[in-house]
A and B are shown apart, each in its own frame.
Chain A
Amino acid sequence: MTSVLGAPVLEVDDLSVTFQRKGEKPTRAVDGVSFSVAPGETVGLVGESGCGKSVTSLAIMGLLPSRGVKVGGSVRLEGQELIGAGSRKLRSLRGAHMAMVFQDPLSSLNPTVQIGTQVTEVLLEHRDMSKAEAAAEAVALLDRVGIPDPRRRLKEYPHQLSGGMRQRALIAMALACSPRLLIADEPTTALDVTIQAQILELLKELVVDTGTALVMITHDLGVVAGLCDRVHVMYSGKIIETADRHELFAQPRQPYTGGLLASVPRLDAGRGTPITPIRGSARDAIPWAEGCAFAPRCDNAQDDCLTEVSGSVVPLEPDGPGRELRCRHPLQYPTAPSGATALGAAR
């Protein structure tokens, strides 16, 4: 999975996360996830709640609790191995070389501390700056993320800012030390649609300007369509389909991806056209060890999707140039990808 954009910033190889509590069966939340992100590239991790996308991001950042969690595989940031690295080293990398923006901008800010203190704190931690320099840099940062009257805002508390402004402030904090990697975990879920568009636009600009690698974690296909270069679709802890954004929307191969796209309401569909949900829920998944976790909900599922017949986990295999697929009975398309398909591009 090499990129045309140069040496990858982030390489995740066979990452697995297992939660093990005393006296309980271990839960494998992430299993064999591999992907890489090049500078200036935006990679989307898509899937529904509980598919392991957030756990993947926390594992990359080294933010999972050490007790009761086993992380396997390899995560390399600019060639440095992060799995098994000391907590001191990880702390010095976090904020400086890799940063993260979370879902809820209100609860991600400390309510009792002024915005300015929270922004300068990052600068003082990782950059050799005096307090005055950090304060000046904080003004520049807020200005850069489009917060008007930054001097004033720095003296205010989180509850005095609007939701969009809070998320901008958090992005400013994440970008304070120009990290090479930015992970955004559903950064727009808690915001209005109009503000969502602004925040996505801002992220895109900043990524293009600075050449930061962006990992976008989302369940919103609209976000993927607007922002991501490559997309990895996750289901029940595994990547089940990887494709370029355009190809994914034009010709989804995994029936799950197809189902996701079909369940998005469309503007060009006639009035009253019902949207097509995927039947069942994510709880219906069977363990991957027994075949394909999505099989119980899949319209294409056949006997060999279950272990008794196939004898092994359905593997992730190359599927045409730049694509990967984990499916024995993918969706088929009669002609070349030039024509519009039945599912087409959502939004």
Chain B
Amino acid sequence: MGDVKRRRIDELAARAGQVPEGEGGVSLTRSAFRRLRRDPVAIIGAVIVVTFLVVALFAPWLAPRDPLAQTLLSQIRPGLIPGSQEGFPLGVDNLGRDLLSRLIYGSRQSLMIGVVSTVLGVAAGMALGIIAGAFGGWVDTVVMRFVDILLSIPGLLMAISISVLLGQNQYALMIAIAVTQVPIFARLLRGSMLVQRGSDYALAARALGIRKRRIVFGHVLPNSLSPVIVQATLSLATAIIEAAALSFLGLGDPDLARPEWGAMLANAQAFLSVRPELAVYPALCIIVVALGFTLLGESLREALDPKFRR
């Protein structure tokens, strides 16, 4: 009995000096991902987002028909647009085009505009934020006043003005939406960099004679990124909604060969009393995809927030 106990103690003592086998360091990003995987909200958001991404990527294979082919035209009469039937699970629109195929192809446009405009917005916003946050002083003042001016104009109004100025094409749409995102990211990154610049480790790095560029890019920036990552995810949702809103207003892609949810919504308006589903389905798509990005963004915020960290 006593022998067993003693052996047990010896084992524990022998283990005490060792460190558990592992593959080295656990970075904060990796531990954030670990937390994210355990969060049901994050999983729901991720499933929605991934589903839509897969649909957009594989649209030509997933869509049952050509989204532009006009069929069942003989059945369309004023006051009647045929609904669900064999081969057309969601029915056709007023021009006899398969609604499901159009929704599937539409995800390509919406996601692409959302992602590209957010990437552009994040890049430009971060560049401004880094300039303001790294230099401080009058540079900071000038950049931030410029950002304030941008911020004072309502987002949709600015997007409309820009897409009118740049002409009607999908690149103009992306740039217009990107510009509305710039001030948010510039402000966010600058604020978070200012906090990190005053941190103890930044002072410690200065005390070791590390050069400023290295402190800004190697120390301050990596620690300032998490609010930007969260905001980028949330902004994707906004960008998709704005893209739909702009094409609903007729400022979207003039190329009718590319179906788009916002344009589909605008088109369905006229037939709302005949076939409300024509508007309901694209609207649902917009809502669900925006919800997916929002859920993912919210749980990212929690996972990256140091206050939730153990």
**A residues with CB within 8 A of B:** 61, 63, 91-96, 99-100, 102, 104, 107-114, 121-122, 125-126, 149, 152, 155-157, 159-160, 170, 173-174, 176
How many Å from the CB of B214 to the closest CB on chain A? 7
Check A109 against B204 for contact (C-beta < 8 Å).
yes
Residue B37, interface by CB 8 Å:
no
Q: Whole-angstrom distance between the alpha carbons of A111 and B304 in the complex? A: 13
Give me the 7 closest cross-chain CB pairs, A-B, nearest first. Answer: A95-B209, A94-B209, A155-B24, A95-B208, A107-B200, A156-B25, A108-B204
Q: How far is the CB of B105 from chain A (nearest CB, A)?
A: 41
CB-CB under 8 A from B201, the residues of chain A are: 107-111
Do residues A125 and B19 form an inter-chain contact, with CB atoms below 8 A? no
B222 within 8 A of A: yes
Least CB distance from A12 to B in Å reads 17
B78 at interface by CB-CB < 8 Å: no
A-B contact pairs, 23 of them (CB 8 A): A61-B207, A92-B209, A93-B209, A95-B210, A96-B209, A102-B203, A104-B200, A107-B199, A108-B203, A108-B204, A110-B205, A110-B223, A121-B218, A122-B208, A122-B209, A125-B209, A125-B210, A155-B24, A155-B25, A157-B26, A157-B28, A170-B204, A176-B208
What's the dominant secondary structure at chain B's contact region? helix
Q: Does B15 contact A (CB under 8 A)?
A: no
Alpha-carbon separation in the docked complex, A108 to B204 (Å): 6
B→A interface (CB under 8 Å) = 19, 24-29, 199-201, 203-211, 214, 218-219, 222-223
A61 CA to B203 CA, complexed, in Å: 11
Separation of A61 and B201 alpha carbons in the complex (Å): 15
Known: A122-B208, A170-B204. A114 touches B222 (CB 8 A): no
Number of A-B contacts defined by CB within 8 Å? 88
By a CB distance below 8 angstroms, the chain B residues around A107 are 199-201
* Shortest Cβ gap from B17 to chain A (Å): 8
- A112 contacts B28, C-beta separation under 8 Å: yes
Q: Which residue of B lies closest to A183 (CB)?
A: B207
B207's partner among A63, A104, A114, A126 (CB-CB below 8 A) is A63
- On chain A, the residues within 8 Å of B218 by CB distance are 110, 113, 121
CB distance from B139 to the nearest CB of A (A): 14
What are the residues of chain A within 8 A of B204 when measuring CB–CB?
100, 102, 108-109, 170
Min CB distance, B224 to chain A, in Å? 10
Contact of B209 (CB < 8 Å), options: A91, A149, A170: A91
Alpha-carbon distance between A152 and B29 when the two chains are bound, in angstroms? 19
Which of A96, A110, A126: most chain B CB closer than 10 A? A110
Query: Is A126 in contact with B209, judged by CB distance below 8 angstroms?
Result: yes
Indicate if the CB atoms of B214 and A152 lie closer than 8 Å: no
Which residues of chain A are near B210, meaning CB under 8 Å? 95, 121-122, 125
Residue in B206, B208, B223 whose beta carbon sits within 8 Å of that of A111 in the complex: B223
Given the complex, which residues of B lie within 8 Å of A173, measured CB to CB?
208
- A156 to B24, Cβ gap below 8 A? yes
Do A149 and B28 contact each other (CB < 8 Å), given the known contacts A94-B206, A113-B218, A125-B211? no
Kindly state the separation between the CA atoms of A95 and B209 in the bound complex, as whole angstroms: 5
> Using Cβ atoms and an 8 Å threshold, which residues of chain B touch A155?
24-25
CB distance from A252 to the nearest CB of B (A): 32
B19 engages A152 (CB within 8 Å): yes
Give Cα A102–Cα B11 distance, bound, in whole angstroms: 38
Q: A95-B208, A109-B201, A113-B218 are in contact. List 19 more A-B contacts (CB 8 A).
A: A91-B209, A91-B211, A94-B207, A95-B207, A108-B201, A109-B204, A110-B222, A110-B223, A112-B222, A113-B219, A121-B205, A121-B218, A125-B209, A125-B211, A126-B209, A157-B25, A157-B27, A157-B28, A174-B208
Shortest CB-to-CB span from B53 to chain A, Å, is: 28
Measured CA separation A80–B214 after assembly (Å)? 26
Closest to A121 in B: B210
